[in-house]
Each structure stands twice: as structure tokens, then as C-alpha cells.
Amino acid sequence: MLVTVDYRLGPLGFFAHPGLPGEGSPLGNQGLLDQRRSLEWVRDNIEKFGGDPGNVTIFGESAGSADVCYQVASPGSRGLFHRAISESGGCTVSVSGGKDATPASAASEIAAFAKALGCGTATDEFACLRAASIDDIMKNAEQPDLTGGGATPSFRFSVVVDGANGFLPDFPRTLFDKGDIAHVPYLLGSNMDEGTLFLLQATIPTSDAEYLAALTSRFGSIADQVLALYPVSKFNGDYRAALARVVGDSGLVCGTHDTARRAAKAGLDVFMYNFNIPWAIAPDVMHVSHASEMSHVFGNPYLPSPDPGSQAVGDAMNAYWARFAATGDPNGDGAPATWPKFTPDANDDDERLQLDPGFELLKSFRKAECTFWRGVYDAAFAN
């Protein structure tokens, strides 16, 4: 039985105004609380539809993948689900590669947003904000910059660590490291070429100097280190491929890996994958991009006419996901390969299942790259 849910986004779902608790409202994370309320609805009602409230799996992709991770981290969501699946994204590093916001760090942007809507000097700021049109609200809400070309509007709204009585009493990374998380089986993974989707509208470098400039724009003082790890020669002189690998690894691939490591060390049964079937549409540009696995999860590969190998992977993934939801383990009768638990050791060696027609076991996937980015995450968290 499948239940899908809507939740509030942007300034409607992640508005951390410091005055909200004074009127009994949540201090941000409204969208995550929407999700929790949906899980409470499932608990209270799903049996009437033939479902089992004692065996609930939450799963999502991209932002939904991170949302699943935040629910795993949040004390108030425990007991509402019993398995978790994150497809391309964790929560132990933020979307920018560092810490999530706190109410204090978000306060200046919230104040500036109110000012931009003409409410900065209003006698009743909340009344002014609530009277603003949705067009004005969204016009001033920043959309994530996925191209490296600079943000368009001025403000951004995201998850906040809202304290002891909130959704997140501490940074998710800290909660995972303390083991203060939902102890449920956790399946996570990413796609071979996560970064290609985010470069569709980007200006692609055509020289070494432009490539270094693009890295500097994104990563500042560590650009030379990134260049050393991702020289264009490693990608046969293809600047788009090199930059796409940097974008994909620095965010979704190694961010998901970071969460998987911390989950496994907290004692969760963890299973990791790498999806490796290219899009049928513009495969030379998209390759195995972000979101390319989703249709396979439902056993219906998004292809004009799936070849037998791709369809077999779709069938297998649909069954792996279903078995995991039923039992907490994706393995079982009919599986084309045994999916090992993800167990990182001191040398950062681990195994994950590659989801393509070969169903290969990958050992220490992108070990050097994710070791590097974990150091970057650690440095950002320390500041």
C-alpha cells in the first residue's frame, strides 16, 4: 500500500521567524512537521484501508531523500515508521556541504525577507507578512542555484536546528554520532552521474583556466585541491564531465555516503547502492543523472521502449524495495544478487550493490573522493 503526501515548501514550509514560538507556532521546519503529521495520519487510519501501521516504510528522492533522513534524526518522529529509504541525499551535511541553519544564523535573512516584503517597520510584522501576496512571497524566495552562476532572488529557506522542544534538538550529524536516532533499517544510495542534471543551464568551461575559475567560484580556497583530485585529464579532456563529477560527488554522492557511514556506526542495518543505467533521453549529456533511478524503483523504466536489461533492473529494484519494506532486508527469493550490509571500517572500505544488469558488488566506491569531501564537511562543521 502506497501513500504519497504533500508538504509546504520554501517560505511557506521553512520560515524560522523568531517570533513564531510566542504565538505557539513552530520555529521553522513546518514542511517537515507536515510530513510527520502525515505519518500520524497513517498510524491512525491506514488499518482501515488494509495497511499495517506497525510496518511503515518512508522513502523519498532528492529533497525527499534528505527529508527521510531528517525524520530518522528527529525524536518526535520515532515509532511512526519502521524502515527508511533515501535515494540521493542524506542529512548529516546540509545541501551546501556544511551545517544546517540555526534560528540565530537564519535571523538576519528572515529580517531581510520581511523588509523586502515591506514589513520591516510594520507595527505588526506577522500581520503584514500574512497579508502579502503569494506572488510577492515567492518572488523574494531564493531558488537553489544549481549552475554555479550565482543566486537569482535574495533569500533562501531551509531546515533549522530548532532546539530541545523542536523538530531537531541538535545537528543531524551530532544526533547520528550519538546514536540518538530512529533505529530502523536504512537503505541509501546515489546515481553514477548525479551532477549532470545540475549543469544543464550552466556555462561549461572550455579551458583549464575557465575550469579552475569555475571550481574557485564554487569552492574558494580549496579549488586547487579539488582540481588535483578531478583533473580534466581524468575525464579525457571533457570539462563538462569533470565538473559534473565534482558537483555530484561534493553534494549527493559523498553526502549520502556520509550519512550511511554514520548510520552504520550508530548500529543501523544499512544497505547502499549505486544506480548505473543512463537516461534514454540525451544519454550523452545526462548519463546516469540525478533522478534517473526513480522509474526503475516502480518497475517501470522511463524509456521509450526499455531494453530487456533495463527492464530486468527495474523489476529487481521494485522487488528489492518491496522486500526491504516488508522485512527490513532487500534480499530474498528471486533476487539477482545478494545485497550485503554496508559496514565501513577504519580504512573507509565498504561494499554497495551496483544496480545495473551486471549487479556487481562495488568495494570502496569513490573512496578517495569521499574521504576528501568528508574532510571538507568536517572543516565546514567546525566553523
Known catalytic residues?
A: 62, 194, 290
Angstrom distance (rounded) from CA 364 to CA 378: 20
Provide the β-strand partners of residue 274. 190, 354
Provide the β-strand partners of residue 155. 141
User: Strand order of the sheet with strand 186-191?
Assistant: 57-61, 83-87, 186-191, 270-275, 351-355, 361-363
Residue 237's region, left for phi above 0, alpha for psi from -120 to 50, else beta, is: left
Which backbone phi and psi does 188 adopt, to 5 degrees? -140, 160
DSSP state string for 43-86:
HHHGGGGT--TTS-EEEEETHHHHHHHHHHH-GGGTTS-SEEEE
Q: Look up cell 562543521; give the residue.
A: 381
Query: Residue 376 corresponds to which amino acid?
Result: V
Provide the β-strand partners of residue 273. 189, 353
Angstrom distance (rounded) from CA 243 to CA 239: 6
